[in-house]
A and B are shown apart, each in its own frame.
Chain A
Amino acid sequence: EPEVTQTPSHQVTQMGQEVILRCVPISNHLYFYWYRQILGQKVEFLVSFYNNEISEKSEIFDDQFSVERPDGSNFTLKIRSTKLEDSAMYFCASSDARGYYEQYFGPGTRLTVT
C-alpha cells in the first residue's frame, strides 16, 4: 500500500540553525500539507500546497518557514533560524485530486531544538 514517508525521523538542532524536513508524498497525490504537534498538544495546520504553490497557510507559518517541491517526488519544509518553541513533531500529509478529503499522514519528524 502506498504511504507517505518522512526523513529524518528525529532531528536535533541548535537554536538559530536552519533545518530542512523532507517528505515523499504518495505518488499520484496532488495536495500536500505540513502540520506540527507540540508534545501533548493538538495538531496544528501549517500550510497546504497545490499546483506548485501555497494554497493556504496558518498564522504559525511566518517568514521563518518555507516549503518547496524541488522535484516530482519530494516536498520539503524549511525552518530558518530555529527557536526552542519549534520543538515538535512535524507531520507531512498528502491527498488526492479530491482535495481536502482523506489525508494520508507520514510518520512524522521529531524536531528537537536545543
Chain B
Amino acid sequence: GQNIDQPTEMTATEGAIVQINCTYQTSGFNGLFWYQQHAGEAPTFLSYNVLDGLEEKGRFSSFLSRSKGYSYLLLKELQMKDSASYLCHNAGNNRKLIWGLGTSLAVNP
C-alpha cells in the first residue's frame, strides 16, 4: 500500500537544530516534498528532493534516501515562528499525491 509516516509531535528550543523524519512507501516515486503549515493556514512549499542526498535552502535542508524510503527535514537556528506542522508529501507513480499527517513542531523560548 501507500503510506507516509512521520512523528506526530516534536518539541525544540529556540536557536537549536531539529530533524523531522519521514518514511514512505509508495508505488513508484516522483519526488518527495516538504511543506510547512501554520495552524489555520494553507500549506507552503519548503523543499523538493528527487535525487538522493541533501538539499540546502537557508535554515532548512532536506535529505532523501530513495533506497530506504526515507527523508528528513533539518531546521537550524530555530525561531519561534517555526512552530508549525511539517508535512511530508510524496508523489508516487499514480501521482495521487500522498500526504503524511504532519509533525507538529513546538519551539519553546
Mark A residues whose CB is within 8 Å of B: 33, 41-45, 48, 55-58, 91, 100-108
Decide if B91 is an interface residue (CB 8 Å cutoff). yes
* Nearest residue, chain B, Cβ from A110: B40
B99 CB contact (under 8 Å) in A45, A55, A100, A105: A45
Given contacts A42-B101, A45-B99, A58-B96, contact A108 B42 (CB under 8 A): yes
A-side contacts of B101, CB under 8 Å = 41-42
* Nearest residue, chain A, Cβ from B31: A100
In B55-109, the 8 Å CB interface with A consists of 87, 89, 91, 94-102
Q: How far is the CB of A20 from chain B (nearest CB, A)?
A: 20
Do B45 and A104 have beta carbons less than 8 Å apart? yes
Separation of A43 and B44 alpha carbons in the complex (Å): 12
Do A91 and B95 have beta carbons less than 8 Å apart? no
Mark B residues whose CB is within 8 Å of A: 30-31, 37, 41-45, 48, 87, 89, 91, 94-102
Do B97 and A42 have beta carbons less than 8 Å apart? no
Q: How far is the CB of A37 from chain B (nearest CB, A)?
A: 9
Do A91 and B102 have beta carbons less than 8 Å apart? no
* Nearest residue, chain A, Cβ from B41: A107
Separation of A100 and B98 alpha carbons in the complex (Å): 12
Do B48 and A101 have beta carbons less than 8 Å apart? yes
Given contacts A41-B101, A100-B30, A100-B31, contact A105 B44 (CB under 8 A): yes
A-side contacts of B48, CB under 8 Å = 101-102
B97 CB contact (under 8 Å) in A48, A102, A107, A108: A48
B-side contacts of A41, CB under 8 Å = 101
A-side contacts of B89, CB under 8 Å = 43
List the 3 shortest-distance A-B pairs measured between CB atoms, nearest first: A105-B42, A42-B101, A45-B97
Do B31 and A45 have beta carbons less than 8 Å apart? no
Do B96 and A45 have beta carbons less than 8 Å apart? yes
Do B42 and A106 have beta carbons less than 8 Å apart? yes
Q: How far is the CB of B68 from chain A (nearest CB, A)?
A: 22
